[in-house]
Structure 1
Amino acid sequence: MQRLRMLGAALAGIMLLGTASACGSDDHGDKAGTDETIVVDITVEGGEITPKGDRVKVAAGQPIDIVVDADAAGSLHIHSDPEQELSYEQGTTTIPITIDRPGVIEVESHEPPQVIVQLEVR
């Protein structure tokens, strides 16, 4: 009888474990320490920059590729600690970055003055 109880407890544990793993999320943007690269696309054309203040969720330490498609060379400012100024060329430029501290990090342009994207680092 005791053996039957142990078997029942073991089966219940396995089923509980299976249920817990089935409730997981495929939202990679919320996983801390993930190695999946987040791509942020930015377009600079005729003095206009898009996106305009979109928020992107990333995990602390997660690789980010900022891909700039521009009709002229320019620079982006990343208000992280320390702050960064990243240059891009005419055409397509991929800028890899990583943010290690949680918080909201603004990526902006000074010409024209605009917040392009906010990186919500968790």
Structure 2
Amino acid sequence: MSGRGLARLAPVVLVLAAGLSACGGSDADPPATTSSPTTDGDAVAITVTRKDDAFTPNGERVELGIGQTLKLTVTADEAGEFHVHSTPEQEIEYEEGTSEHEITVGRPGVVEVESHDPASVVLQLEVR
């Protein structure tokens, strides 16, 4: 190839090299971590608090893998029940005080965990 042909290719090579280096990482820069749970069987833990007919969290979306366990710790100033709108549906009865419960969902989608009394969507499980 002539010198003129190489001169034309130089900008293309530089653009390709820059693009490849932007996609790669270095040992000095570890990958960013996310709050997304893994689907390798590790459980996800969430604490729900009921106080004066209000829930914390309130409608928060939580990522969950198909078949992954959600460990739910409920601290409540009075007894109640959550409805998990999965297939099949699940109900979680909790007492006044602190109790622990487990939820697993076998199908992908968004599953609401809600209270009917008082009416509130407590969690949205984004199952993948």
Encode CA deviations 1:9-32: one digit per residue, 9 max, x unaligned.
Answer: xxxxxxxxxx79x88775473533
Cα gap change, 1:37 to 1:30, in 2 (>3 Å): closer
Q: Counterpart in 1 of 2:117? A: 111
Hey, what does 2:36 align to over in structure 1? 29
Which of 60, 78, 88 in structure 2 is aligned with 1:54? 60
Letter in 2 for 1:29: S
Give, in whole Å, the separation in 2 of the partners of 1:85 and 1:35: 22
What's the CA shift string for 1:35-79, capped at 9, x where partnerless?
211012110011111111100011111111111100111100000
Tell me, yes or no, if the aligned pair for 2:37 and 2:44 is still in contact at 8 Å: no
CA RMSD of aligned residues (A): 2.0
Between the aligned partners of 1:101 and 1:24, the Cα distance in structure 2 is 29
Instruction: Give me the identity figure in percent.
Output: 41
TM-score (norm 2): 0.71
Distance, in Å, in 2 between the alignment partners of 1:64 and 1:51 is 15
- 1:1-122 aligned at under 5 Å gives the runs 26-27=33-34, 29-32=36-39, 34-122=40-128
Structure 1 alignment gaps of length 5 or more: 1-18
User: Aligned residue for 1:16?
Assistant: none
Unaligned ranges ≥5, structure 2:
1-23
Number of aligned residues: 102
| TM-score normalised per structure 1 | 0.74
2:106 counterpart SS class: coil
